[in-house]
Amino acid sequence: MAFDAAPVRDRPLSDAALAQLFTEARTRNAWSDRPVPEALLHQLYDLTKFGPTAVNATPARFLFVTSPEARARLIPLMGEGNRAKTAQAPVTVIIGQDIDFHDQLPKLFPHAPGARDWFADEAGRRETAFRNASLQGGYFLLAARALGLDVGPMSGFDAEGVKAEFFAGTTVEPNFIVNLGYGTDENLFPRSPRLAFEEAARIL
């Protein structure tokens, strides 16, 4: 019997999958009232966590805002142009970074027992936390689309206010915020242009 023996990692995704993740996916500004089950949020995190980060630091922290009470605390902290869409979305996710991510390295990077000490300098730790939590945020967006969800990432919010309201007394700081659910075409802008390869990339 003939069969395809290529490893899974060597098999490109189908055109339909690439369209769902990239070419036809859109940033949504309006949302249906279809709920997002809590089990799906767990599945979403369980996909996201496998994305690579430096020394497996995984500094991102995800706060899923779903209850009316929590949403009422968040919406006033959003930029004016982001409040209505956030009020409508069934889930809003605050993606933050734990500045003291290095405390988890004995568990997350066990083959290097001294890894925690590599990040004794707070400035360097902050840079690592921000860069790698941002990477994880990108994985999160693609994982959500892979699971059939729509996303609306936003950077317009009161970062100090979100820190005080949701992460007070912790070492977590907000990075960006994502509306999550099943989007509609309401308030959907025409797709904006992208730079051509020659404008944004070089091969040396």
Concatenate the DSSP letters of all residues of 22-67 into one string: IIS----S-B-S----HHHHHHHHHHHTTS--GGG---EEEEEE-S
Confirm whether 204 is domain-assigned: no
Number of domains making up the chain:
1
Of the candidates 37, 28, 35, the one whose C-alpha atom is nearest the C-alpha of residue 184 is 28
- The pLDDT assigned to 86 comes to 98
Size of the chain, expressed as the number of residues it contains: 204
Domain that holds residue 113: 26-182
Of the candidates 107, 136, 179, the one whose C-alpha atom is nearest the C-alpha of residue 47 is 136
Which helix (H) or strand (E) segment is 84 a member of?
A: helix 80-88
When pLDDT is averaged across residues 44-50 and rounded to a whole number, the result is 98
Confirm whether 114 is domain-assigned: yes
Confirm whether 72 is domain-assigned: yes
Confirm whether 97 is domain-assigned: yes
- The pLDDT assigned to 136 comes to 98
Confirm whether 2 is domain-assigned: no
Confirm whether 91 is domain-assigned: yes
Beta strands 60-65 and 91-98: pairing type?
A: antiparallel
Give the integer Cα–Cα distance in Å for 64 and 67. Answer: 9
Q: Per mean pLDDT, which range of 8-12, 68-72, 117-121 is the poorest?
A: 8-12
CATH code for position 133: 3.40.109.10
- The pLDDT assigned to 158 comes to 98
- The pLDDT assigned to 9 comes to 75
* Whether the predicted pLDDT of 5 surpasses 70: no
Backbone angles phi and psi of 125, in degrees to 5 = -65, -40
* Averaged confidence pLDDT in the chain: 96
Confirm whether 191 is domain-assigned: no
* Whether the predicted pLDDT of 67 surpasses 70: yes
Helices within 94-146 (DSSP H only):
105-108, 122-146
pTM for this structure?
0.94
Instruction: Provide the pLDDT confidence category of residue 10 given band limits of 50, 70 and 90.
Output: confident
Give the integer Cα–Cα distance in Å for 6 and 42. Answer: 31
Confirm whether 169 is domain-assigned: yes
**What's the pLDDT tens digit per position in 94-122?**
999 999 999 999 999 999 999 999 999 99
